[in-house]
Amino acid sequence: MQYTFARTCSLLRKADIEINDDVDYSVFTDNESFNVIRKLQGFKEAVLNAHDKYEPFMVTRYIVGLAQEFNRFYHECPIITDDERIKKARLLLTLSVNTVLKEGMKLLGMEAPEKM
């Protein structure tokens, strides 16, 4: 989790562009992107379930799964590319993963190191 968070931080630093939600979502045509997006959608449910059942491991399991999905995405889909449309969309997805990993680790009382 921490390594993946540090990786997302590094990607965002290297990109050195302002990231906003003004992106072309049609560039997400690969399974890896869809898997990350689907996983991101489950964060709220994981947190609520962990709270309702007094089972913090549910957040841990979710965050580990998100990190795994992002790592697959990272290895299969170049994020910083020459195509600006693709780069912006993939960086927004990276920022989303970064935010959820950071919040998840915060809930678990873990540090979120930006560099390793």
CATH no. for 2-17+27-107: 1.10.730.10
What's the CA gap between 37 and 51, in Å, rounded? Answer: 23
Cα separation, 110 vs 70, whole angstroms: 19
Contact 56, 108 (CB under 8 A): yes
Break the chain into its structural domains and give their ranges. Answer: 2-17+27-107
The model scores a pTM over 0.85: yes
Successive 10-residue mean pLDDT values, the chain, 116 residues: 97 90 92 97 97 96 98 97 94 98 97 94
| Rounded-to-integer distance, Cα 99 and Cα 13, Å | 14
